[in-house]
Amino acid sequence: MKILVAIKPVPNPDERVKIRKDGSGVVLDNIKMVINPFCEIAVEEALRIREKRGGEVVILTIGPKESEQQVRTALAMGADRAILVETTKELDSLGVAKLMAKAVEQEKPDFVIMGKQAVDDDNNQVGQILAAILSQPQATFGSKIEFSEDGKKANVTREVDGGLETIGVTLPAVITTDLRLNEPRYASLPGIMKAKKKEMKVIPADSLGVDASLKVRVLFLAPPKERAGGRKVADVAELVDKLKNEAKVL
């Protein structure tokens, strides 16, 4: 199977990002960029499918040249080659999906897999938009993927509000990942060495003839309301007293 995995670099999710004074964005100096955790899960899944069924895992990212670093990490995990659609322009989900669609048309993978959500913008949109543009089935929030013998269909178990749901999709399709799909491997040292020699095709976004002008424009960021937390109680008796007489929630 030929699998296209879309990945996005994001600031390390374990660090609390700070907002620039002028609200124009977040402070990224000293924050490590990593592969979006949901995309890492997508890479892992693609590798496991290739290990079982054979084929090729192609990494796709859309963004500035610096994204190369995270792409190399995905290659070091074991992906075969990569495509970087290069642009320094700010993009929204529609723009990203339209550029991706061009890459999909060129590569014609059996399916595309990506994260359900990028943990920087928290949009949860790109996979579904791409599926719409390609007129393909979509299976979002996947926590289990099983293929039919002939590899033409997949049953995807999805994490939904009421529990778990399974849908069947005919390939080609777009699948997005949830946390419980797998636990991604680390890049091994030999993997890192090999990754340096793997093919990374750079395509200038402007060459794809896509109108990716912004339809959702972020004007500014502001910090959320701070909570006045931090108070401690000495014991259970004080806790109950406070809940009853101060917070009045009992």
Partner 1 sequence: MADILVVVEHQEGAFRKTTLSTISAAKVLAGLIGGEVDALVLGQGVRSVADTVAAHGVRGVLLGEGEVFARYLAVSYAPVVAQLVNEKGYGAVLAPASTFGKDFMPRLSGLLDAPLASDIVGFAKEGNSLRVQRPMYAGNAVATVELVGSPLLFTVRQTAFDPAPKADAKAPVTPVSVTADPGGTTFVGREETRSERPELTDARVVVSAGRGIKSPENFKLVEQLADLFQAAIGASRAAVDAGWAPNDWQVGQTGKIVAPELYFALGISGAIQHLAGMKDSKVIVAINKDEEAPIFQVADYGLVADLFKAVPDLIAELKKLKSA
Ligand X SMILES: Nc1ncnc2c1ncn2[C@@H]1O[C@H](COP(=O)(O)O)[C@@H](O)[C@H]1O
Residue 68 burial (CB count, 10 A): 18
Q: What angle do CA 6, 98, 141 make, to 5 degrees?
A: 45
**One character per residue 34-63, x = contact with ligand X (rule: CB under 6 A):** --x-xx---------------------xxx
Q: Which is nearer to ligand FAD, 13 or 25 (CB)?
A: 13
Instruction: Show contacts with ligand FAD in window 117-156 (CB under 6 A).
Output: 119
The answer to whether 162 contacts partner 1 (rule: CB under 8 A) is yes
| Least gap, CB of 128 to ligand FAD (angstroms) | 19
Residue 13: how many CB atoms within 10 A of its CB?
12
Check: CB of residue 78 under 8 Å from CB of residue 57.
Answer: yes
Phi then psi dihedrals of residue 107, to 5 deg: -85, -30
Q: Rule CB under 6 A: which of 116-145 touch ligand X?
A: 117-118, 121, 123-127
Rounded to whole angstroms, what are the CA distances from 13 to 36, 108, 176?
A: 8, 32, 19
Q: Which of residues 22-41 bind ligand FAD (CB under 6 A)?
A: 37
Of 7 and 79, which has the nearer Cβ to partner 1? 7
**24 binds, options ligand FAD, ligand X, partner 1, none, Cβ within 5 to 8 A by partner type:** none
Do 97 and 214 form a contact (C-beta atoms < 8 A)?
no
Provide the b/e sequence for 185-207 (b: ≥16 CB within 10 Å): eebeeebeeebeebebeebebee
With CB cut-offs between 5 and 8 Å by kind, which of partner 1, ligand X, ligand FAD, none does residue 96 bind? ligand X
141 binds, among ligand X, partner 1, ligand FAD, none (CB under 5 to 8 A by kind): partner 1
Please, which residue, 69 or 148, has the CB nearer to ligand X? 69
Q: Identify which of 203, 205, 182, 193 has the alpha carbon closest to the alpha carbon of residue 72.
A: 193
- Contacts with ligand FAD, residue ranges (CB under 6 A): 13, 37, 119
- Contacts with ligand X, residue ranges (CB under 6 A): 6-8, 36, 38-39, 61-63, 93, 96, 114-115, 117-118, 121, 123-127
